[in-house]
């Protein structure tokens, strides 16, 4: 994944400060309109309660122009890569108005099969001018439901290589038939695909209206302009960081043995190279993180540290070169399993921040109590229907130079919890408690955010398959610059620690306890102000 | 209430951040007039009484001739923003006191590492738990431990709490434990204000329901003190008409109901504005109106369909980051649907790090204000641009009451223009264009969420900035008509004078439509309707005049968002199934263009709205007679993008226009409080009701 080094900012007189601002804002509102439509018509709580989706508009070359404001970082980074892949393997000649392209190949899409990416080529005057594209986490994709036990991607569910979903408005009936047969929630999985299609149609029509109004024949000049300006700004920000090689390493829970993560961030003038040499070799478990996801997480961290206020687009991506040796857990070879890739990928932003903290201590965050936790439950209900439910749980975020870490807050991803009242209504689970974990935030001049404790009891008459995604059970979220680590996470079944890497089958009356990790602190805790100490004690946080 | 209807005057009282407006309508002469006094923040009823006294003494309005008094206020909203409400306690189900603080765990800004969640209104040490538990069907799993409740409430009172919210899990399904808890607390501490979640917002989703109950508790003591005081003062002045309060959904309610659930009043001011827009738009815009109110720091947009302002069932109060969706405290009440954006006359223009022109949300406010005010402001604002473009008249600003420094406006804009390599004229137009795009984009996304096409609406503009910006906002949205009421700067208060009484009620059903217990379903509607009618009756109105609407939040099984569907009138039985399905599918297709593959449908909440006209609410404002003689009072150099330069264009005098007159753009129409901009090629006329109606080319 290398940056496009030829590209350099050029300012075209056709786009002055006003015209560009107005057109750009219109494009963002087109993506936002598509996002709102997708979210409100989708069937899975993954999309509509937990926000696990994104909508992106690209130019004809598949370069990102804008995304909806609520997008999650991983999809922002991966969607343009998938669109470029469509161009490469399907080709412009095989695309027509009314076509929809689809793909969930982890290596060219989001890093696991569970997210379905759909793109609609946009034509004007017979020429391809861009793509309306979106990714949404499917309610179910079949297979082992992201269990870490899987060894190869073939075990992980229904695999859709880059292909047509619809040709000139005609759905591929065979694809739908096969997909419906392969998943546990055929109506919901198909319903969400239609929700994506509806959103993309809206985005396309909005782009046409805008181009009519401004007399644009294509998006190339606009793309060059915004990419150029963002690239220039990002390069300027990079150039403001002292040249050097900044290294950082960390150890994570791993599978069977701890994993080693290593990063070297090289700042050379206005270039930034992020290299993961030295990171753990890929493993025969579903925890490998494809390069698309590695790139997305790396770009997210760099933008958050250097240029948080600018809208994101391909111009930002041009400035960041990400390399990792093939065959590592951050750039695995086919066909290894990848379902739980976020359990690896979410470690990358804090890893990069650890390196940048040496020179930019005020612009980074101590490690968060992430990767995101979840439990996935599957089974057959009393009426004989198959089901699959995913519930998410966040830990505390890391402290920064300015603020304490936030309690139970999604980072680096942006995924909501599902309300307890909906959990109890829609699943055979009873939630006994959900509260902040006192004392779980890493001490520091700024304290890490608190994790949470949840107690869940199975009430189903039929057996329930449970898969955990839980990290930082042995290696905590580290503090920065003298701040202390957050509390370790804990997962118990019936009060006893359990192997979260194994699949579990629970029966009525069994209880799961989850304690999500706290975030790391920032700077020495002896520097914490007395009134903040008192406030912590009063609230029971510390 | 029937007796006062024959009285001559109606009174509207609107407390805003700076001014308190008293607006009066004279039913005999069919005219309205108003008084403005400064809002008295230390004791807001003082300002109100001062204004009312002036109306009584100076405008010749006898107290006995006032038949209707309606009040809107931003007091409670401000108390939440400034965190100046009561010391509030929260009692929850054991194990869940942190639900209020954990919230939905989602960032409202993706890239900001220093982001902070909104702080809950009740800090952790004032949140207590008691053993009790309902399940999702409303069956008792663990009985309420009343002894434990007494202990925790004693502790909260000891810690200084004067108001308590009770929010138990699944209380929307069965409120018995919350009711029992409220009774225990009332017995022990009769003076303590108590709010239960099932009473305030009986809807599924514990965080949002708890948040609403807590907000209610937070402002309840304030509401009690303030509303009692103002009702007593008005009565003392011989005003016999009962005090009515404007609530967020655009209806009215009586003082006792407002004291019980004051959270209903949070959006009362904007609701009056939306009602006014609907009223003004009825005759000249066919009832479909995009209401656009632009002031000094913000612009507000709301949608009126078929004469009815759209109602939403949730909003956010006290946002951590102003205008950032998701950064506020969720409130589940019915409210006029409204978006607020940081775009006003004082919004500051600047170039961002990549050289793009940004306008707002930072505002120069009134101190120092726009550079043109000559009060030391050096940054270019929207108002400065409007002066430089020739839209605003430096000799007639605020009716000529304020001296304008045109050189300062030019200089401020020139500085940014140089930076952007644009002329002063181009940059001034750029500021106008960018702030318009901000508003148009927000409107587009908002309308898309409702699955509607913006082009069918007319733009109804009010506020100081609405008429100035309406023309080119309408062009961006492809709207064909603009309606501008007279005195557009203060037009929104008229909503107070025409509002009906409205009571809405909600209950969570959460059943599949094909497995519904129809008898119970109908009984739920009947129960809600009876309760709503009772409140209408207490307002002093005849329940026989009430209109009843039934609605339901329906979704396909598996979706998490419901759409609110207008249902056919009841009563229902098993034969109603197809009728209800059609209502849902029609609404779904209207919003999302297609229905999904065969999936079952479930009803989450049912809603009832009972509305009754309040006597005295029938207004008939007609166009004023011509005061000045010549419709064109002069010419000024103005910039229009169609010309790409400044040229002479006419300045019309609104006071020289009468119903039936029609003219051609370009130009501006001036009146004291506002200026309407009309582009080249447009035509405009004065309608029978006195509105200016602009038809775009």
> Residue B20 maps to which CATH number?
3.30.420.40
A260 assigned to some structural domain: no
If asked whether residues B141 and B173 sit together in one domain, one would say yes
The two structure tokens encoding residue B17: 């951040």
- Answer whether residue B336 is part of any domain: no
**In CATH, what number is assigned to the domain containing residue B590?**
3.30.1490
Q: Pick from B519, B502, B588: which is nearest to B552 by CA?
A: B588
Radius of gyration, CA atoms only, chain B: 26
What's the maximum distance between 2 C-alpha atoms anywhere in chain A? 70
Is the CB of A362 inside 8 Å of chain B's CB atoms? no
Report chain A residues whose CB lies below 8 A from the CB of B95.
432-435, 455
Given this model, what pLDDT does residue A506 score?
Answer: 97
CA separation, residue B555 to residues B136, B193, B225, B551, B606 (Å): 18, 36, 42, 13, 12
Q: Say how far apart CA B391 and CA B464 lie, in whole Å.
A: 13
Name the DSSP class of B272: H
A22 touches chain B (CB under 8 A): yes
The answer to whether residues B533 and B654 belong to one domain is: no
Shortest CA gap B506–chain A (Å)? 17
Nearest CB to B111 within list A11, A303, A416 = A303
In a domain, A330, yes or no: no
CB contact (8 A) between residue B596 and residue A43: yes
Helices (H) and strands (E) in chain B, counts: 16, 35
Q: Do A29 and B441 touch (CB under 8 A)?
A: yes
Q: Which of A259, A267, A197, A276 is nearest to A234 (CA)?
A: A267
Residues 446-475 of B with CB under 8 A from A: 448-449, 451
Shared-domain flag, residues B24 and B73: yes
Q: A198, A228, A258: which is the final residue of a domain?
A: A228
What is the count of structural domains for chain B?
4
Of the residues B214, B246, B281, which one is the last residue of a structural domain? Answer: B214
Q: Give chain B's residues under pLDDT 70.
A: 1-6, 399, 451, 488-490, 558-560, 592-594, 596-598, 621-623
- Helix (H) / strand (E) containing A456: strand A452-458
Q: Which domain holds residue A112?
A: 17-228
Instruction: Kindly state whether residues B55 and B142 are assigned to the same domain.
Output: no
Note whether B119 and B69 are same-domain residues. no
Which residues 234-273 on chain B approach chain A with CB closer than 8 angstroms? none
Beta-carbon pairs below 8 A across chains A and B:
228
B67 lies in the same domain as B102? no
Dist. CA B240–CA B205, nearest whole Å: 43
B window 547-566, beta carbon within 8 A of A: 556, 558-561
Q: Final residue of a domain: which of A228, A256, A273?
A: A228
> In 3-state terms, what secondary structure has residue B618?
coil
Query: Which of A142, A218, A153, A201 shows the shortest CA–CA distance to A376?
Result: A142
Residues B24 and B10 in one domain: yes
User: Distance between CA B97 and CA B88 in Å, rounded?
Assistant: 14
β pairing state of B9-15 and B683-686: unpaired
* Cα gap A123→A60, rounded to integer Å: 9
Instruction: Note whether B655 and B633 are within 8 A (CB).
Output: no
**Ranges of chain A whose pLDDT falls below 50:** 1-12
Q: Kindly state whether A405 is in contact with chain B, defined as any CB-CB distance less than 8 angstroms.
A: no
User: Residue B98 falls within a domain, yes or no?
Assistant: yes
Q: What are the two backbone dihedrals, phi and then psi, of residue A185, each rounded to the nearest 5 degrees?
A: -130, 65
Shortest Cα distance, chain B CAs vs residue A459, angstroms: 12
Evaluate whether residue B237 is within a structural domain: yes
Place of tokens 């680096």: A412
Q: Which domain holds residue B655?
A: 632-695
SS in 3 state form for B86-122?
Answer: CCEEEEEECCCCCHHHHCCCCCCCCCCCCCCCCCCCC
pLDDT at A95: 98
pLDDT at B461: 94
Q: How far apart are CA B569 and CA B547, in angstroms?
A: 11
Cross-chain Cβ contact A310/B354 below 8 Å: yes
Which has the closest alpha carbon to B513: B588, B604, B608?
Answer: B604
Q: 3-state class of A170 per DSSP?
A: strand
Does residue B478 belong to any structural domain of this protein?
no
Residues in chain A with CB shorter than 8 Å from the CB of B356 are 17, 20-21, 24, 229
Global pTM reads: 0.90
Residue A404 counted as domain residue: yes
The Cα of A22 is separated from the nearest Cα of chain B by a number of Å equal to 6
Both B531 and B554 in a single domain?
A: yes
Closest to B245 (Cα-Cα) out of B607, B535, B460: B535
| Residue B331 maps to a domain | no
How close are the terminal C-alpha atoms of chain B, in Å?
Answer: 49
Which of A206, A365, A541 has the CB atom closest to B113's CB atom? A365
Phi-psi category of residue A349: left, alpha or beta, with phi > 0 → left and psi -120 to 50 → alpha = alpha
In a domain, A271, yes or no: no
The residues, ordered by sequence, that sit 6+ positions from B532 with a Cβ below 8 Å of its Cβ are B503, B504, B505, B548, B608, B609, B610
* Rg, C-alpha atoms of chain A: 23
**Residues linked to residue A56 through DSSP beta bridges, in sequence order:** A67, A133
* Strand stretches in B94-199, DSSP E: 127-130, 133-134, 140-142, 163-167, 193-196
Q: Which residues of A465-480 are buried (b: 16+ CB within 10 A; e: fewer)?
A: bbbbbbbbbebbbbbb
The string of DSSP letters for B434-462 reads HHHHHHHHHHHHHHHHTT--GGGPEEEEE
Phi, psi of B118 (to 5 degrees): -65, 135
Is ipTM over 0.85?
Answer: yes
Distance CA B473, CA B406 (A): 25
- Same domain for B14 and B125, yes or no, is no
Q: B506 and B606 in contact (C-beta within 8 Å)?
A: yes
CA terminus-to-terminus distance, chain A: 43
Residues B89 and B174 in one domain: yes
B376 inside domain: no
pLDDT at position B464, please? 83
B630: which 2 tokens? 């010549």
For residue B670, CA distances in Å to A541, B459, B652, B653 come to: 60, 19, 6, 5
- Residue B688 buriedness (CB in 10 A; 0-12 / 13-18 / 19+): exposed
Q: Name, in order, each residue with C-beta under 8 angstroms of A530's C-beta and a sequence gap of 6 or more.
A: none
Are A384 and A411 in contact by the 8 Å Cβ rule? The answer is: no
Q: What backbone torsions phi and psi does residue B279 show, to the nearest 5 degrees? A: -65, -45
Determine, yes or no, domain membership for B335.
no
Q: What are phi and psi of A330, to 5 degrees?
A: -100, 0
Q: Quick one: pLDDT at residue B270?
A: 86
Nearest CA in chain A to B434: A22
Q: What is the pLDDT of residues B191-219, one digit of tens each?
A: 999 999 999 999 899 999 999 999 999 99
Owner of token pair 């400035």: A319
Whether A94 and chain B come into contact, CB under 8 Å, resolves to no
DSSP string for residues in B305-356: ETTEE-EES-EEES-SSTT-TTSSEEE-S-EE--EEES-STTEEEEE-TTS-
Task: Residue B550: name the closest of B579, B578, B519, B529 by CA.
Answer: B529
In chain A, count of helices (H) and strands (E)? 12, 20
Q: What is the largest CA-CA distance in chain B?
A: 81
> In this structure, is residue A267 part of a structural domain?
no
Across the interface, do B561 and A39 touch by the CB < 8 Å criterion? yes
Of A188, A204, A228, the last residue of a domain is: A228
Nearest by CB: A416 against B95, B104, B356? B104
Chain B residues whose CB is inside 8 A of the A13 CB are: none
Q: Report chain A residues whose CB lies below 8 A from the CB of B558.
A: 43-45, 139, 185, 187-188, 191
- What span, in angstroms and rounded, lies between the C-alpha atoms of A379 and A393? 21
Domain assignment of residue A265, yes or no: no
A14 touching B, CB under 8 A? Answer: no
- Is B95 within 8 Å of A433 when comparing Cβ atoms? yes
Q: Which of B612, B647, B672 is the last residue of a domain?
A: B612
Q: How many domains does chain A have?
A: 2
- List the strands of the sheet with A511-515, edge to edge: A429-436, A452-458, A511-515, A490-493, A496-497
**Residue B116, Cα to own-chain centre: how many angstroms?**
26
| CA distance linking residue B641 with residue B644, whole number of Å | 5
Please give the pLDDT value at position B598: 65
Confidence (pLDDT) at A269: 96
Q: Do B114 and B136 lie in a common domain?
A: yes
Residue A409 and residue B124: Cβ atoms within 8 Å?
no
- Same domain? For B237 and B199 the reply is no
End-of-domain residue from the set B152, B180, B214: B214
B259 within a domain of the structure (yes/no) = yes
Residues of A in contact with B353 (CB under 8 A): 233, 307, 309-310
């Amino acid at each position: 994944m290398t940056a496009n080094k030829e590209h350099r900012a050029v300012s075209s007189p056709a786009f002055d400060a006003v015209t560009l601002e107005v057109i750009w804002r219109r494009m963002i509102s087109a993506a936002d309109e598509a996002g709102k439509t997708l979210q409100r018509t989708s069937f899975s709580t993954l999309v509509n309660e937990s926000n696990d989706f994104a909508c992106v508009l690209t130019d004809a070359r598949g370069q990102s122009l804008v995304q909806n404001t609520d997008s999650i970082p991983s999809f922002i980074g991966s969607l343009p890569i998938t669109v470029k892949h469509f161009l490469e393997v399907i080709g412009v000649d095989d695309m027509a108005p009314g076509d929809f392209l689809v793909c969930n190949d982890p290596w060219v899409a989001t890093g696991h099969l569970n997210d379905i990416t759909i793109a609609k080529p946009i034509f004007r005057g017979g020429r391809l001018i861009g793509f309306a594209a979106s990714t949404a986490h499917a309610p179910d994709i079949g297979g082992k439901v992201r269990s870490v036990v899987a060894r190869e991607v073939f075990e992980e569910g229904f695999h859709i290589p880059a292909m047509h979903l619809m040709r000139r408005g005609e759905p591929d009936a065979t694809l739908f038939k096969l997909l419906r047969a392969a998943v546990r929630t055929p109506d919901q999985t198909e319903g969400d695909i239609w929700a994506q299609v509806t959103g993309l149609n809206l985005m396309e029509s909005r782009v046409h209206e805008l181009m009519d109004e401004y007399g644009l024949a294509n998006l190339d000049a606009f793309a060059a302009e915004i990419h150029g300006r963002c690239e220039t700004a990002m390069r300027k920000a990079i150039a403001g960081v002292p040249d050097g090689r900044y290294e950082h390493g960390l150890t994570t829970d791993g599978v069977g043995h701890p994993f080693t993560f290593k990063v070297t961030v090289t700042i050379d003038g206005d270039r930034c190279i992020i290299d993961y040499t030295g990171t753990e070799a890929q493993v025969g478990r579903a925890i490998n993180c494809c390069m698309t996801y590695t790139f997305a997480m790396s770009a997210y961290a760099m933008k958050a540290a250097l240029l948080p206020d600018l809208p994101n687009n391909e111009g930002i991506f041009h400035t960041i070169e990400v390399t990792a040796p093939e065959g590592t857990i951050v750039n695995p070879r086919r066909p290894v399993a990848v379902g739980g890739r976020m359990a690896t990928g979410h470690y990358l932003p804090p890893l990069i921040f650890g390196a940048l903290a040496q020179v930019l201590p005020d612009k980074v965050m101590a490690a968060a109590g992430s990767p995101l936790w979840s439990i996935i439950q599957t089974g057959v209900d009393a009426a004989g229907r198959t089901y699959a439910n995913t519930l998410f749980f966040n830990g505390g975020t890391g402290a920064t130079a300015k603020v304490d870490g936030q309690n139970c807050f999604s980072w680096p991803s942006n995924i909501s919890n599902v309300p307890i009242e909906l959990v109890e209504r829609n699943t055979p689970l009873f939630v006994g408690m959900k509260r902040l974990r006192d004392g779980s935030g890493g001490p520091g001049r700024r304290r890490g955010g608190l994790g949470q404790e949840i107690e869940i009891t199975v009430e189903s008459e039929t057996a329930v398959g449970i898969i955990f995604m839980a990290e930082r059970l042995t290696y905590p979220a580290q503090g920065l610059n003298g701040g202390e680590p957050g509390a370790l996470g804990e997962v118990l079944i019936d009060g006893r620690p359990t192997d979260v890497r194994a699949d579990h089958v629970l029966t009525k009356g069994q209880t799961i306890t989850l304690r999500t990790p706290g975030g790391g602190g920032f700077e020495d805790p002896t520097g914490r102000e007395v009134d903040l100490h008192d406030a912590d004690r009063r609230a029971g946080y510390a | 209430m029937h007796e006062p209807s024959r009285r001559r005057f109606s009174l509207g009282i609107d407390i805003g951040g700076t001014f308190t407006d008293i607006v009066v309508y004279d039913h005999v002469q069919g005219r309205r007039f108003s008084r403005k006094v400064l809002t008295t923040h230390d004791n807001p009823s003082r300002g109100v009484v001062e204004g009312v006294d002036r109306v009584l003494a100076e405008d010749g309005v006898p107290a006995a001739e006032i038949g209707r008094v309606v009040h809107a206020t931003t007091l409670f909203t401000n108390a939440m923003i400034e965190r100046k409400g009561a010391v509030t306690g929260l009692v929850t189900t054991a194990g869940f006191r942190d639900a209020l603080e954990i919230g939905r765990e989602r960032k409202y800004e993706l890239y900001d590492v220093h982001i902070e969640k909104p702080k809950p209104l009740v800090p952790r040490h004032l949140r207590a738990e008691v053993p009790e538990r309902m399940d999702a069907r409303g069956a008792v799993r663990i009985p309420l431990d009343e002894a434990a409740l007494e202990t925790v409430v004693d502790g909260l009172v000891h810690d200084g709490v004067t108001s308590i919210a009770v929010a138990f899990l699944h209380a929307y399904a069965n409120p018995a434990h919350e009711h029992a808890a409220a009774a225990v607390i009332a017995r022990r501490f009769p003076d303590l204000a108590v709010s239960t979640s099932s009473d305030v917002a009986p809807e599924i989703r514990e965080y949002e329901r708890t948040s609403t109950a807590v907000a209610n508790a937070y402002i309840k003591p304030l509401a009690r003190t303030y509303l009692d005081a103002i009702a007593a003062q008005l009565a003392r002045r011989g005003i016999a008409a009962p005090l009515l309060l404007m609530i967020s959904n655009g209806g009215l309610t009586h003082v006792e109901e407002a004291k019980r659930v004051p959270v209903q009043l949070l959006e009362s001011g904007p609701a009056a504005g939306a009602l006014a827009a609907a009223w003004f738009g009825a005759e000249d815009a066919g009832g479909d109106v995009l209401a656009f109110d632009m002031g000094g720091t913000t612009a507000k947009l709301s949608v009126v369909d078929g004469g009815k302002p759209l109602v939403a069932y949730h909003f956010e109060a006290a946002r951590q980051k102003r205008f950032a969706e998701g950064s506020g405290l969720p409130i589940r009440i019915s409210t006029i649907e409204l978006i607020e954006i940081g775009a006003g006359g004082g919004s500051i223009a600047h170039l961002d790090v990549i050289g793009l022109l940004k306008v707002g949300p930072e505002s120069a406010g009134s101190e120092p204000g726009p550079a043109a005010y000559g009060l030391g402001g050096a940054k270019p604002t929207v108002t400065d641009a409007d002066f430089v473009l020739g839209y605003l008249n430096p000799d007639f600003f605020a009716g000529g009451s304020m001296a304008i420094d045109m050189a300062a406006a030019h200089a401020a804009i020139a500085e940014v223009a140089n930076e952007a390599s644009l002329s002063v004229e181009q940059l001034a137009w750029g500021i106008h264009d960018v702030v318009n795009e901000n508003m148009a984009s927000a409107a587009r996304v908002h309308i898309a969420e409702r699955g509607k096409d913006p082009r069918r609406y007319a733009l109804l503009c009010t506020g100081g900035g609405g008429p100035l910006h309406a023309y080119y906002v309408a062009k961006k949205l492809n709207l064909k008509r603009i309606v501008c009421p007279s005195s557009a700067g203060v037009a929104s208060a008229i909503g107070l004078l025409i509002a009906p009484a409205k009571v809405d009620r909600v209950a969570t059903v959460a059943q599949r439509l094909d497995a519904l217990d129809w008898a119970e379903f109908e009984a739920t509607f009947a129960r809600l309707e009876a309760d709503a009618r009772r409140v209408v009756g207490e307002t002093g109105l005849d329940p026989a005049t009430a209109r009843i609407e039934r609605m339901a939040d329906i979704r396909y099984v598996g979706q998490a968002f419901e759409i609110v569907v207008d249902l056919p009138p009841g009563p229902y039985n098993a034969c109603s199934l197809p009728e209800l399905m059609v209502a849902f599918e029609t609404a779904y297709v209207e919003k999302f263009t297609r229905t999904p593959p065969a999936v079952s449908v479930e009803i989450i909440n049912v809603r009832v709205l009972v509305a009754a006209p309040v006597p005295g609410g029938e207004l008939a404002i007609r166009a004023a007679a011509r005061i000045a003689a010549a419709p064109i009072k002069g010419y000024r150099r103005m910039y229009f993008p169609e010309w790409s330069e400044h040229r002479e264009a006419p300045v019309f005098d609104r006071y020289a226009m009468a119903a039936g007159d029609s003219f051609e753009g370009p130009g501006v129409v001036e009146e004291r409080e506002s200026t309407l901009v009309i582009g080249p090629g447009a035509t405009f006329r004065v309608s029978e009701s006195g509105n200016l109606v602009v038809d775009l080319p």
